[in-house]
């Protein structure tokens, strides 16, 4: 079964959390928006689903995943659905809800990372809201990164199955997403993240361990991995970054 992943071409964004799971599992998938119009693919094919006046499982926004007739929307939901199929979910069913709770907390932090450069309106340009962005980014660096990452570090520390994984004792999609979140923050806020490894050693080790996984390393080295850029959730605007004590 080939999964069809719908996400904007040209950026990592929220789609990247799904891509990392599909790539780690070497799953068979097509990126619809990045495909060729001659094959019925491309961004237009994605817009057609969003604009459909008959689709029964209408998604609000990318990313969404098509598996046969079923369309599954929302990043954390896609991963909850794919996790067991890709062997990237906890084996114990109750732990799947623990995994989903963590994934949704990662999603909340991703939204806050986005809002550092778009605090006033997602439809306005960054340049129109730079002053507000500076205030929000400063709060994000001073208060939100420590709060979220302090929490995630404690989750690792208190995992009864050991501090190598966010939940249980095997790799799950939550570990892959945690890698992406930390990686994105390093890109966006290199000064603020400079001492990340000293403050959150377990998270830093998890990030590095994911980076070395053969399928992930091969993916990151391929053309399938899009570079970070300033159309994405994680944007590097030096004026929003700052050193932390």
Q: Give the footprint of a copy of itself on this chain (CB under 8 A).
A: 52-60, 64, 70-74, 76-77, 80-81, 94, 97-98, 100-101, 104-105, 108, 111, 115, 119-121, 123-124, 132, 135-136, 139, 143, 148, 151, 154-155, 158-160
To a copy of itself, the closest distance from the beta carbon of 82 in angstroms equals: 10
Of residues 66 and 228, the one with the C-beta less far from a copy of itself: 66
Of residues 135 and 217, the one with the C-beta less far from a copy of itself: 135
Distance, in Å, from the CA atom of 60 to the CA atom of 50, rounded to the nearest integer, reads 7
To a copy of itself, the closest distance from the beta carbon of 55 in angstroms equals: 6
Of residues 33 and 98, the one with the C-beta less far from a copy of itself: 98
To a copy of itself, the closest distance from the beta carbon of 138 in angstroms equals: 8
To a copy of itself, the closest distance from the beta carbon of 199 in angstroms equals: 17
Of residues 5 and 216, the one with the C-beta less far from a copy of itself: 5
Count of beta carbons in the 10 Å neighbourhood of residue 123? 7
To a copy of itself, the closest distance from the beta carbon of 97 in angstroms equals: 5
Of residues 107 and 216, the one with the C-beta less far from a copy of itself: 107
Instruction: State the SS3 of the chain.
Output: CCEEEECCCCCCCCHHHHHHHHHHCCCCEEEHHHCCHHHCCCHHHHHHHHHCCCCCCCCCCCCEEEECCEEEECHHHHHHHHHHHCCCCCCCHHHHHHHHHHHHHHHHHHHHHHHHHCCCCCCCCHHHHHHHHHHHHHHHHHHHHHHHHHHHHHHHHHCCCCCCCCCCCCCCHHHHHHHHHHHHHHHHCCCCCCCHHHHCHHHHHHHHHHHCCHHHHHHHCCCCCCCCCCCCCCCCCHHHCCCCC
Of residues 25 and 79, the one with the C-beta less far from a copy of itself: 79
To a copy of itself, the closest distance from the beta carbon of 233 in angstroms equals: 14
Residue 28 is encoded by which pair of tokens?
A: 């068979």
């Amino acid at each position: 079964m080939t999964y069809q992943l719908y996400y904007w071409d040209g950026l990592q964004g929220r789609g990247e959390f799904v891509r990392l799971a599909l790539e780690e599992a070497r799953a068979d998938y097509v990126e619809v928006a990045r495909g060729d119009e001659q094959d019925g693919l491309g961004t237009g094919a994605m817009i057609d689903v969003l604009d459909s006046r008959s689709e029964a499982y209408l998604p609000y926004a990318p990313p969404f995943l098509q598996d046969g007739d079923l369309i599954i929307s929302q990043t954390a939901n896609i991963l909850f659905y794919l996790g067991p199929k890709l062997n990237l979910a906890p084996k114990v069913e109750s732990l799947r809800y623990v995994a989903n709770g963590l994934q949704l907390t990662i999603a909340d932090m991703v939204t806050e990372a986005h809002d550092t450069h778009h605090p006033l309106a997602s439809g306005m340009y960054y340049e129109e809201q730079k002053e507000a962005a500076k205030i929000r980014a400063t709060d994000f660096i001073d208060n939100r990164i420590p709060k979220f990452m302090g929490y995630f570090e404690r989750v690792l520390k208190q995992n009864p199955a050991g501090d190598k994984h966010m939940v249980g004792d095997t790799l799950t999609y939550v570990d892959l997403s945690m890698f992406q979140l930390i990686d994105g923050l390093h890109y966006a806020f290199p000064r603020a993240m400079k001492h990340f490894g000293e403050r959150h050693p377990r998270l830093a080790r998890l990030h590095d361990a994911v980076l070395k996984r053969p399928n992930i390393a091969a993916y990151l080295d391929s053309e399938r991995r899009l570079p970070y850029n300033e159309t994405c959730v994680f944007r590097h605007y030096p004026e929003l970054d700052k050193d932390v004590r």
